[in-house]
Amino acid sequence: MSKKLVVVFIVIVAAVGAGAYWYSRSGAVAPVVTEAAWTHSVGVGETVSHPDGMTLKLVRINDSRCKKDVVCIWAGELGVTAQASGGSFGSTTAEVVLGQTTRPSATVGAYVFTLNTIDEQRVTISVKK
């Protein structure tokens, strides 16, 4: 019985090896692993850098929330306006506008910007290329 198991094991290993060899010779393309998202915490006026050279400057935090003791037709939200340049943007500057409710994520150029957390002073934004 033991010899049969050894033979079966050798046949399986040979079959897997042959399959891997023929797959690699077939010209099949391996899956592309995309770049991980980079997370930045930034305050108004501060600039952070992405590993590819893109910089993100937080221009302002927009507060459209309904003030205390005021009747509003919409509760409003906190949002951000930022400027992105360098990296895939080259010498141009792109405006990035995000909001807690209306636009928590946006694709601008080759980047996806996602608003993770926000308060009146700081934001945390993830950037993925």
Q: Kindly list the domain boundaries of the chain, sorted by start residue.
A: 38-128
Which of these, 96, 92, 93, 102, lies nearest to 125 by C-alpha position? 96
> Would you place residue 101 in the very low, low, confident or very high pLDDT band (cuts 50, 70, 90)?
very high
Q: Could you give phi then psi for residue 6, rounded to 5 degrees?
A: -65, -45
Q: Is the pLDDT of residue 107 over 90?
A: yes
Alpha-carbon distance of 65 to 100, in angstroms, equals 11
Average pLDDT over the chain reads 81
12, amino acid identity: I
Q: Could you give phi then psi for residue 115, rounded to 5 degrees?
A: -85, 115
What is the pTM for the complete model shown?
0.70
Q: Is the pLDDT of residue 3 over 80?
A: no
**CA distances (Å), origin 98, targets 65, 69, 77:** 15, 27, 10
pLDDT, tens only, 50-75:
888 999 999 999 999 998 888 888 88
Alpha-carbon distance of 14 to 23, in angstroms, equals 14
